[in-house]
């Protein structure tokens, strides 16, 4: 008789938060469903310490609007951060609404530095981002009157 043992991951404030965020992302619609005119999206991220001087890491990725989700978020680089991270959903929505080809900004992580500092010390890592957006060419709508030549 085979006995299958399942390993149960220990629950922590950080893992609970990340699980809820993963569910929120997975339940959201795709970028192409939310922003029909958006055809391409490249994201450049640079993570900095709370002083904003020393860069911890950087990342450049290209999102496929058909598969990427409209809850557009990135984890904080602090492995101990609880309930922080960076949600770029609103920044992306504003850029698309204004039909910008690029959008840049900076966000401060509002999570807790670690599970031992919850309600005491904020994480405050910094994310500087650049969104590079491509759009489909909009076809004319309505009735177009043609004149005979």
Is residue 73 included in any domain, yes or no?
A: yes
Q: Tell me the average pLDDT across 9-29.
A: 86
Pick from 18, 9, 81: nearest CA to 49? 81
* Total count of domains within the chain: 1
Q: What are the backbone angles phi and psi of residue 90, rounded to the nearest 5°?
A: -70, -40
Is residue 9 included in any domain, yes or no?
A: no
Distance CA 36, CA 135 (A): 9
The pLDDT-based confidence of 102 (bands split at 50, 70, 90) is very high
Is residue 4 included in any domain, yes or no?
A: no
Is residue 85 included in any domain, yes or no?
A: yes
Average pLDDT score over the chain: 86
Is residue 125 included in any domain, yes or no?
A: yes
- Domain span at residue 108 reads 31-135
Is residue 10 included in any domain, yes or no?
A: no
The pLDDT-based confidence of 142 (bands split at 50, 70, 90) is very low
Is residue 88 included in any domain, yes or no?
A: yes
Is residue 15 included in any domain, yes or no?
A: no
The pLDDT-based confidence of 138 (bands split at 50, 70, 90) is low
Pick from 142, 23, 149, 41: nearest CA to 95? 41
Q: Tell me the average pLDDT across 14-32.
A: 90
Reply yes or no on whether the pLDDT at 105 is more than 60: yes
Reply yes or no on whether the pLDDT at 92 is more than 90: yes
Higher-confidence residue: 98 or 7? 98
């Amino acid at each position: 008789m085979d006995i299958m043992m399942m390993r149960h991951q220990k629950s922590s404030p950080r893992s609970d938060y990340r699980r809820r965020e993963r569910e929120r992302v997975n339940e959201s619609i795709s970028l192409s469903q939310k922003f029909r005119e958006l055809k391409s999206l490249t994201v450049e991220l640079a993570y900095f310490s709370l002083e904003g001087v020393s860069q911890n890491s950087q990342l450049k990725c290209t999102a496929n609007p058909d598969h990427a989700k409209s809850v557009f978020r990135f984890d904080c680089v602090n492995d101990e951060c609880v309930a922080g991270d960076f949600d770029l959903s609103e920044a992306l929505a504003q850029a698309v609404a204004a039909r910008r080809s690029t959008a840049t900004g900076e966000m401060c992580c509002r999570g807790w530095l670690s599970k031992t500092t919850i309600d005491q010390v904020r994480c405050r890592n910094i994310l500087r981002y650049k969104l590079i957006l491509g759009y489909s060419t909009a076809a004319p709508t309505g009735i177009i009157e043609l004149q005979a030549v």
